[in-house]
Amino acid sequence: VSSQFISALMMIGPGMKNGLKLELTGEAVSLPYLHLTTGLMRSLGFEVAIVESEINIAPGLPGKAVSLAVEPDWSAASYWYLMAFLADEADLFLPGFRADSLQGDAELVQLFKPLGLSTSFDENGIRLLKAPIQQKRFEIDLVQNPDLAQTLAVAFAAKEIPAKITGLQTLKIKETDRLVAVKTELEKTGAEVEIGEDYLEIKKGIKKVDGVSFETYEDHRMAMAFAPLALLGEISINHPAVVAKSYQSFWDDLEKVGFTIEQ
């Protein structure tokens, strides 16, 4: 149901005597992550083949060691896109990101473009600059990018942009039921949110955040997606240490750009 389980099996495969063959049934979700796993395993010398709904992993270890530079996490970059989006002005540089990324969440570049954020690449990373918002209503399918759902839901709600996000059927089986969590926390701000089995719709946007205390549900993405709302007023994030799962220096980085944080 989640690409994480498939990627885990793919990485176990080379250590099995006969390798491993996986046959995917039903609708495969988060496909970019499977191609990311495939690409990285191949670059390290493992034999991986994907043909339609079948994945074949050959047994055995690579013949020699390989040096690999690990690209930064595009999912983590989404929170900086959100901060740039909410700020009155923004000129933000994020080092290490590449235009030829295998990560599915690199789709951020296109998703935030109509929201008025332009992304330019150079050999050292990406620069984000603000421009006018190009659309007044959005309908987007995140079946291949479900980790961006919380970021975009907060973005749409904060700017009171009506939006429907679909392809979210896996959000119920993440660290928490992210559909319920996002709805619950956004409605603390006066927003109106509708959820279904695979969608989240922003009906009405945020009215006030000052003084609101947000729960994180043991979910790193809840903490990081709601933190940028501090640009709109003083907020509290409960159990902030959850960010350590994917972005341990998140709060330190916020202080570096001028946020005031008290524990």
Distance CA 223, CA 205 (A): 19
Q: Identify which of 139, 199, 201, 144 has the alpha carbon closest to the alpha carbon of residue 168.
A: 199
In the chain, the amino acid numbered 48 is V
Burial level of 252, CB count in 10 A (0-12/13-18/19+)? exposed
**DSSP assignment of 243-255, as one string?**
GGGT-TTHHHHHH
Distance CA 249, CA 263 (A): 15
**DSSP assignment of 163-225, as one string?**
EEEE--TTGGGSSS-HHHHHHHHHHTTT-EEEE-SSEEEEEE-----TT-EE--TT-HHHHHH
Q: Are 88 and 39 in contact (CB under 8 A)?
A: no
Q: Is the dihedral angle over the CA atoms 79, 85, 90, 93 positive or is it negative?
A: positive
Residue 17, token pair as written in the block: 């005597």
Q: Which of 105, 147, 198, 219 is catalytic?
A: 147
Active site residue 147: yes
Residue 5, CA distances (Å) to 49, 169, 186 in order? 17, 16, 30
Provide the annotated active-site residues: 147
